[in-house]
Amino acid sequence: MKKHSQILLFLILVLFGCTNNTKKDENVKSSIDSLPIYFSLANDINLPFNYKQKYNQKAFDVVIVQENDSMNRVNLFKIANRYYNMSDWKSYKKISKLVLERAISSKDSSSIGKAYTYLGDYYQSQMVSDSAFLNYFRAEKIYLRNNDDINLVKTLIAKGDLQLSEGDFFESEISIFKALKILKTKKDVNKDLYDCYNLLGIIYNEREEYDKALEYHNKALSMLEDKTILSQFQQRAISLNNIGYVYLKMHNFNQAKKYFKRGLEQKDLFNGNTTIYAMLLDNFAYSKFKSKEFTELPSQFYQALKIRDSLKLESGIILNKNHLSEYYAFKKDTFRAIQYARQALILSKKSNTIRNILESLKQIAIVDPQKASVYSKEYIHLNEKLLKAERKMGEKFSRIEYETNEIKDQNSNLQEKNKTLIYVFSICTLVGLFFYVYKTQQARNRELLFKQQQQIANEDIYNLMISQQNEIEQTRIKEKKKVAQELHDGVLGRMFGVRISLDSLDKIDEAQAAAKRKKYLTELKNIEEDIREISHDLNREKSELINNFVAILKKLFENQRNTHYSKLITKFDPHIKWELVDNIVKINLYRIVQEALQNCNKYAKADVIIVEFKSEIDYLILSILDDGIGFNTKRTKNGIGLHNIQYRATECKGTVTVKSAKGEGTILTVKVPIDQKINLHNNDI
C-alpha cells in the first residue's frame, strides 16, 4: 500500500512539472511571437520617444536570453537600428559592441563586418573621426575577404562620406569610385548609385568643379525615378537642394531659385523631413535676395530660423543668422546686420565648429568695419588651424590603413612559417619588430621635429607682421603729434602775429605801410613753405603705411639671402597700389612665395632665383623663376608644396601654371584676378 502511494505521488509531481514546463514554454513562445510587434512599434515615427524606447527594450529583453545563433544576431542588429533611428547613441553603441562580441565568439565574419560598420556609424555621429575610419576600414577588409560586394559598397560609401566631412576630398573621391566600380556590375542598386552620385556632386562642388558637380547631382536625381527607393527621407528634395546650392555658388541665382522652389514643392516635405524643408526655405530666400527679389523677405528667413531653432540645428541657425545679417546690411540697417552677425559668431564659437566660425568672422568683418582688422586676424589664425587639422586627419587615415595592413601582413606571414622552425623565426621576428619600432619611432620624431619647426616659423611670420604693423602705427602717432605741435607752436602763432600786424597798418600812413606790408608778405611765404613741408611729411607717412606688405616681403627675401647661397633677384611693379589689395590675397601671396622659395632651396639646386610682382589689366601676376635642375611636369606628381600653392591660389580665385623641364629650370606663375583700379598708377604715393 505504501509503495502504491509513493508511485501515485511521483506521478502527481511529474504531471505538475510538465504543466509548469508547458506554461513556461508557452510564455517563451508568446514572447518570441511578440518580437515583430515590438520591432514595428519601436520604429513607428508617430509614437512618442519614450514609447519607442520601451518597446525596443522589451525586444531586447526577449533577444538577450536567446541562444547566440545567426537569428539572434540578426535581431540584435534590428534593435541597434531602432536605437540609431531614435538617435539614442549610447544604447546604439552598447548593442553594436554586444553583437560584435557574439559574432567574434561564433566566428561569424559577416556579422563581425556589419558590427564594425555599425560602430563606425556611431563614432562618425560623435565626430570621433579616427575611430570611425578604423572601424569602417576593418569592415571593408572583411567584406573584401568574403566577396560581400553589397555590404562592401555600403561601407565604402560611409567611409567616403567620413573623408568628405574631414576635408579629405581626394581620398573620398577614390572611395566612392571604388564603390561605383562594383555597382556597375550589379542590378537593382539604384539606392547605392544615388548615394555615390550625390556624394560625388558634393565633393566636386567643394572643389569648385561646378560642371562635374551638376553632372553627378543630376545623375543622382535620375536614380530617384526608380520607385523602389523609399521617398520617406525626401531624397528628391535633398538632390534639388544640392543642385540649387551649386548654382548659388556659381552666382547663377535665378537657376538656384528654380531648384530650391521645386524642392519646397515636394509632397509632404514639411512632415517628412522638416530639416530639409528649413534648409530649402532659407536657401530659396537667400537666392531671392541675391537676385534682388524681395517678395516675402525677410519673413521666409525668419520662418526657416524658427524651424531650425525649434529643432536645435546649430549649423542651420548660424547660416540663417549670417543670411539675415547680409540682408540687413544690404538694406543699410547696420544695427540689425551687426546684431545677427554677432549672434552667429557667438553660437558658432559655442558649438566649436571651425568652418562655422570662419563664415561668421567673414560676415561680421564686412558689417562691422571698425573691428574688421581684429576679426580678419582671428579668421587668418583659424583658417591656418583648419588646414592643419584637415591635413593631419588625412595623414591619420592613411596611417591607420598602413598600420592595419602591416599587422595583417605580419599575421599572414607568421601562419605560413614552418612549425619546426617556429622558435628560431619567432626570435627573428621579435628582433625585426624591435628594429621596426625603433626606426618608426625615429621617423616619427623627425616628423614631430619638422612640425615643431614649421609651427615656430609660422609664429615668427605672424609676430613679424604684427610688430611691423605696431612700428608703423607708433610712427604714425608720433608724426601726428609732431604735425599738431608744429601747426600749433609754429604756424598758428606766426599767422596770428602777421594778422595783428596787418590790422595795425590802418593806423599809420601809406608810405610806412607799404614797407611793412612787403615784410609781412615775405613772412606769409615762409609760413607757406612750412605748411608744404608738413604736407610732405604726411605723404611720407602714407607711403610707409602702403609699403607695409612690401616691407614684410623684403624681410623674407633678406632672410633667404642670408641663409642660402642662391642669388635672389626681386622686382616690384610700382603701379600696384598695395593698400587696395585685400589682406587675404596678400597673406596667400606671401605664403606662396614662402612655399616656392622653400621648394627652390630643397630641390631646384638653383644659382639664381627671380621673384617678380607685376600688374596687368584686371590681374596681379606673381612669377617665380629659377635656373635649377627642373623636372618633368607630366610624369612628376604634385607634392604637398605644389598642392599648397594651388590651394592658396584658389583661395584668391586665381590660377597656377608651372613650366619646367629637366635641366631647364622652372617658372611658377600665379595669376590673381583683381579690381582694375589696383592696376592704375597711384600718383598720391
CATH number, domain with residue 97:
1.25.40.10
User: Residues 234, 235, 236, 238: is their CA dihedral positive or negative?
Assistant: positive
Domain-located, residue 409: no
Same domain (yes/no): 444, 478: yes
Task: With a cut of 70, say whether residue 500 has pLDDT above it.
Answer: no
**Are 390 and 358 within 8 A, CB to CB?**
no
For residue 673, give the CATH number of its domain. 3.30.565.10
Instruction: Extract long-range pairs of 395-401: CB within 8 Å, 24+ residues apart.
Output: 396/130, 396/133, 397/130, 397/133, 397/163, 397/166, 397/168, 397/171, 398/171, 400/130, 400/133, 400/134, 400/137, 401/137
Over residues 572-584, the pLDDT tens digits come to 998 888 888 888 8
Residue 445 lies in a domain: yes
Q: Are 572 and 657 part of one and the same domain?
A: yes
Helix (H) or strand (E) holding 649: helix 640-651
Q: What tens digit of pLDDT does each residue of 250-287 get?
A: 999 999 999 999 999 988 888 878 889 999 999 999 99
Last residue of a domain, one of 499, 521, 546: 546
- Residue 483 sits in the same domain as residue 588: no
Tally of domains in the chain: 3
Q: Confidence band (pLDDT; 50, 70, 90) for 388?
A: low
**Degrees (nearest 5) of the Cα angle 311, 315, 319?**
110
Distances (CA, A) of 577 to 306, 384, 617: 46, 26, 13
- Residue 553 inside a domain? The answer is no
Model pLDDT, residue 251: 93
Q: How many residues does the chain have?
A: 685
User: Can you tell me the distance from the alpha carbon of 220 to that of 183, in angstroms, rounded to the nearest whole number?
Assistant: 14
Instruction: Evaluate whether residue 216 is within a structural domain.
Output: no
Over 60: is that where the pLDDT of 138 sits? Answer: yes
Total-model pTM? 0.53
**The pLDDT of residue 411 is above 50:** no
Do 539 and 596 share a domain, yes or no? no
Identify whether residues 538 and 565 lie together within a single domain.
no
Q: For residues 317 and 656, what is the distance between their CA atoms, to the nearest angstrom?
A: 37
Please answer whether residues 108 and 70 qualify as being in contact, where contact means their C-beta atoms are separated by less than 8 angstroms: yes
Best-predicted range by mean pLDDT (424-438, 441-455, 516-530): 424-438
Instruction: Indicate whether 347 pLDDT > 70.
Output: yes
| pLDDT at residue 303, as a whole number | 94
Predicted local distance difference test score (pLDDT) of residue 670: 94
Cell numbers for 371: 573691428
Answer yes or no: is 672 within a domain: yes
Supply the pLDDT for residue 29.
52
Give the pLDDT score at 281: 93
Least confident of 183-192, 240-249, 439-448: 439-448
pLDDT at 28: 47
User: What's residue 634's pLDDT?
Assistant: 75
Q: What is the pLDDT of residues 287-337, one digit of tens each?
A: 999 999 999 999 999 999 999 999 888 889 999 999 999 999 999 999 999
Among 82-86, 144-148, 271-275, the range scoring the smallest mean pLDDT is 271-275
Mean pLDDT of 97-117: 91
Whole-angstrom distance, CA of residue 589 vs CA of residue 31: 70
DSSP 8-state secondary structure symbol assigned to residue 45: T
Torsion angle defined by CA atoms of residues 206, 211, 213 and 218, in that order, rounded to the nearest 10 degrees = 160
The mean of the pLDDT values for the chain is 80
Q: Which of 56-60, 322-326, 364-368, 631-635 has the lowest mean pLDDT?
A: 631-635
Last residue of a domain, one of 166, 186, 206: 186
Q: Are residues 528 and 563 in the same domain?
A: no
Alpha-carbon span 131 to 149, nearest angstrom: 23
Same domain, 567 and 512: no
Q: Are 56 and 43 in contact (CB under 8 A)?
A: no
Confidence at residue 261, expressed as pLDDT on a 0 to 100 scale: 93
Same domain, 80 and 159: yes
> Looking at the domain assignment, is residue 438 inside a domain?
yes
Cell 512618442 found at: 48
- Choose the final residue of a domain: 151, 186, 221: 186
Highest mean pLDDT out of 62-66, 188-192, 370-374:
62-66
**Residues 476 and 510 reside in one and the same domain:** yes
Band (481; pLDDT cuts 50, 70, 90): low
Is 179 within the bounds of a domain?
yes
| Residue 258 cell numbers, joined | 528654380
* Together in a domain, 515 and 594: no
> Looking at the structure, do residues 538 and 577 belong to the same domain, yes or no?
no
Structural domain contains residue 573? yes
**How far is it, in rounded angstroms, from Cα 453 to Cα 460?**
10
Task: Judge if 513 and 594 occupy the same domain.
Answer: no
Lowest mean pLDDT of 191-195, 314-318, 446-450, 614-618, name the range. Answer: 446-450
Q: Which of 8-12, 26-30, 186-190 has the highest mean pLDDT?
A: 186-190
Given a cut of 90, is residue 545 above it in pLDDT? no
Taking Cα atoms as reference points, which of 523, 546, 538, 544 lies closest to residue 482?
538
Q: What is the DSSP letter of 12?
A: H
According to DSSP, residue 453 is labeled: H
Domain residues for the domain of 126 are: 66-186
